[in-house]
A and B are shown apart, each in its own frame.
Chain A
Amino acid sequence: MAGIWIYSEDASIAAQLIAPARELAAPGQPVCAVVLDQQTAEGLLTYGLHIIYKLIGQSEWPESYAAAIASLADKEKPEVLLVGGTLRGKDLAAKVAARLGAGLVSDAFAVRRSGDGIETDRLMYGGLAVCSEVTLPTALVTIPPAAP
């Protein structure tokens, strides 16, 4: 079954994505993580995720893994990919979405299921309005990190 995936280059922000991912997951649907380093992988081990994909490469620049994450997603076909909304995360998410030909919602403050896809809420016009949008799979969403 296509899973709900999470990704952040930051270990603590990756952990923050587990709760919204679990909420989205249908009964029995796997929740998986994509990580770039051992520390983040170990940090997520205790949460009982279905699969943790660790990408191993030479580059220390997280954004450069966009192509690798896109090809992994293209193979495994996750239903949703939640990305920690740091600036690096947003850059990577847009590059992954472009490679997959997928929709991406930036800075969603709410994510829920809606029909065959997901519905998100985000602010527009500098906070003047709330925009609700539906995205069909594969759906990418960046979620602003919680204040430290």
Chain B
Amino acid sequence: MLNIIVCYKWVLDEQDIRVNAGSMTLDTSRAAYKISDYDRNAIEEAALLAERAGASVCGLTYGGDPVKQSLKDTLSRGLDSAYWVHDPSAATADAFVTANVLAAAIRKIGKYDLILCGEGASDTYAQQVAPRLAALLGIPGLTFVSKLAVEDNKAVATRKLGDCTEVCTVPFPAVVSVLPELNQPRIPSLKQVLGAAKKPMTEWRACDLELGSTELTPKVTVTSLKGYAMSRKNMIFKEEVAASVNKLVVSLAKEGVL
């Protein structure tokens, strides 16, 4: 039977984040957490593959205390079990650290044919974890997948790459990152929500994964995080075209952009 591991991130809902006017600091006090949007597509795809072809599906996440509430949420969406690497290092983790932790956890889980990830996280949208995991585990990684089918010992994936699509066949084990058009994530039924509480959950610390301090020290450190305000001059030139263009050029030159 196919063994699938779905990686997901528990993120702040960006719609609830406010920017404090003046200081431009972020107010996250009223922000609720959610499963990162595209990770929901990854979870749904795993659940669909399990229903169609039969598969054992486990969820894997890395994060601090708030992640606890994510476990029942993801388990109600069709996962059989969940693994949580509960570690304070997650607060400052970059993609280097996150991929190291997830790769170590995947090795510890041991049995895997297909590792599914969302294409990018709703908060950072760095799109790095899936290809990094593939490189760390030494297995093929297919990113930006809009269509996925499983046959015997391989996956057939359609990648959407802006100016073209690409149909790839990849032997297992493999990492696949998915795009939102892949499927429509389900809304769990009451039975599924109640059933989630009975499913197995495993909690690990980073030290359980035999990771050293080098692997847990981020390479990228945040120096500032501030609200982004698009400041517009709101200047409209209403004369006839030649005169307006002249004024526009003069104005742009004055701003130093020409």
Contacts and interface: CB of A to CB of B under 8 A. Distances in A.
Given A103-B96, A104-B220, A90 B127 contact: yes
B20 to A, nearest CB: 12
Contacts of A124: 123-125, 225
Nearest to A102: B219
A50 interface: no
A129 B224 CA distance: 10
Contacts of B26: 125, 128-129
Contacts of B161: 86-88
B234 interface: no
A67 B219 CA distance: 20
A106 B126 contact: yes
A134 interface: yes
A71 interface: no
Nearest to B120: A106
A87 B144 contact: yes
Given A90-B127, A127-B228, A99 B222 contact: no
Interface in B92-127: 94-96, 99, 122-127
Interface residues of A, number: 37
Contact of A119 (B126, B218, B223): B223
A25 interface: no
A94 B227 contact: no
Contact of A95 (B94, B122, B131, B228): B131
On chain B, which size bracket covers the interface?
35 or more
Contact of B135 (A90, A94, A106, A127): A94
A87 B223 CA distance: 27
Contacts of A128: 14, 17, 19, 26, 227-228
Given A87-B144, A103-B219, A97 B225 contact: no
Contact of A87 (B134, B135, B162, B227): B162
B123 A98 contact: no
A133 interface: yes
Interface string A58-96: 000000001100000000000000000011101110110
B223 A132 contact: yes
Contact of B223 (A88, A125, A134): A134
B143 interface: yes
Nearest to B136: A98
A126 B222 contact: no
Contacts of A67: 135
Nearest to A101: B96
B132 interface: yes
Nearest to A90: B127
Interface in B118-166: 122-136, 141, 143-144, 161-162
B226 interface: yes
Interface of A: 66-67, 86-88, 90-92, 94-95, 97-99, 101-107, 114, 119, 123-136, 139
Shortest 8 CB-CB contacts between residues of A and residues of B: A103-B219, A98-B135, A94-B131, A98-B132, A125-B14, A103-B220, A94-B128, A106-B126
16 contacts: A94-B95, A95-B131, A98-B99, A98-B131, A101-B219, A104-B219, A106-B124, A106-B126, A107-B126, A125-B122, A125-B123, A128-B227, A128-B228, A133-B221, A135-B220, A136-B219
